[in-house]
Amino acid sequence: MKTIGVLTSGGDAPGMNAAIRAVVRTAIENNMHVLGINNGYDGLMKGDVIEMNLRSVSNILNRGGTILHSARSEGFKTEAGQKKAAEMCKALGIEGLVIIGGDGSFRGAQALATLGITCVGIPGTIDNDIACTDETIGFDTAMNTVMEMVDKIRDTAESHSRCSVVEVMGRDAGYIALYSGIAVGATIILVPEVEYDMQKDVIDVMKRTLATGKHHFVIIVAEGCGLATKMAKEIEEETGVETRATILGHVQRGGSPTVKDRVLASRMGNYAARVLRYDNRSCIVAEKDNKIVDYPINEALAMTKELDIDTYRMAHEISI
């Protein structure tokens, strides 16, 4: 393989730039040309590409977001859009693609692979909801961001004897909520994978904890569990504890990536470029037991990932 492309797709995640850097430098060191594709699959359909060189990726290791930008493309979801993207790859001389993103991005890679374009996916999403890998690029940074923000919120909650309901990202996956909740000592953690009863699992727990002498509370709620503002109102009405809701939102996507994310992204980017150069096959790169491995795209997309219920149980057992 002589020419490859690299793009980022879906929601941005800290560490994507580190992955881009590793792909570009590994490819060039192994005698390949690299085209950076702007704005994900939408940019691919339009042929919006730039020639990448060693200096194109200087000083981006520590930057959040993605220098190639990202965009969701309705057009690419259609069969016609996918064919247009595949034809553009051939017109530009792109023999293989590195696609950094989440589940939706990998389904796009799956479609392009069936059209004859070799695709290697790198899991980059703060939600950590890609089944084939232990961790995704951006997850560790997002957790640390939540921890930092909630530590600050706790200071004012304690000063005013309040309850703070903090909503974090995770529409379908509760990994950020669970692990950041443990890290900040949240009294209650709610995740979409586990059904909860507002009276039994929130109100009654708070009343029991109040009886032990505790006067301030932090509750971490994944966005897939309902509205934090509505929950805060109900808590205040039922317990008498002044309650405030905080929705952290997209602050969780930004910021300089942690050491862990920079190293993971670098390892995955290096691996992806070498797969294209020497193996010429489509796959999804993953981390398993601290080793970088890969799976065929169809196999990776068919895998399922379950939240560690024992860790969830432990979190509540030590929270009172």
Q: What is the reported pLDDT for 258?
A: 98
Q: Tell me what the mean pLDDT of segment 99-123 comes to.
A: 97
Whether 310 is catalytic is no
CA dist 170 and 191 (Å) reads 8
Q: Are strands 217-222 and 188-190 parallel, antiparallel or unpaired?
A: parallel
Confidence of residue 73 (pLDDT cuts 50, 70, 90): confident
Q: Which residue has the higher pLDDT, 320 or 304?
A: 304
Amino acid letter, residue 160: H
CA dist 276 and 144 (Å) reads 33
Q: Which of 265, 264, 280, 278 is nearest to 97 (CA)?
A: 280
Q: What is the reported pLDDT for 186?
A: 96
Q: What is the reported pLDDT for 1?
A: 87
Q: What is the reported pLDDT for 72?
A: 81
The strands making up 3-8's β-sheet, listed across from edge to edge, are 49-52, 33-37, 3-8, 96-101, 118-123, 283-288, 291-295
Confidence of residue 295 (pLDDT cuts 50, 70, 90): very high
Residue the block writes with tokens 């950076």: 36
Q: Tell me what the mean pLDDT of segment 243-259 comes to.
A: 96
Confidence of residue 319 (pLDDT cuts 50, 70, 90): confident
Distances (CA, A) of 188 to 4, 14, 70, 260: 47, 27, 35, 27
If one counts every other C-beta atom within 10 angstroms of the C-beta of residue 217, the result is: 26
Provide the 8-state DSSP code for 272. H
* Axis-axis angle for helices 139-159, 175-184 (nearest 10): 50
Residue the block writes with tokens 């059209």: 115
CA dist 288 and 56 (Å) reads 31
Residue the block writes with tokens 């009654």: 204
pTM of the model: 0.95
Q: What is the reported pLDDT for 71?
A: 83
pLDDT tens for 35-46 read 999 999 999 999
**Residue 81 pLDDT more than 90?**
yes
Confidence of residue 226 (pLDDT cuts 50, 70, 90): confident
Strand partners, 293: 286
Lookup: tokens for 120: 């290697």
Catalytic residue among 12, 42, 127, 129: 127
Mean pLDDT (the chain) is 96
Strand partners, 190: 221
pLDDT tens for 138-194 read 999 999 999 999 999 999 999 999 999 999 999 999 999 999 999 999 999 999 999
Q: Tell me the CB-side half-sphere exposure of residue 267, using CA atoms within 13 A.
A: 18
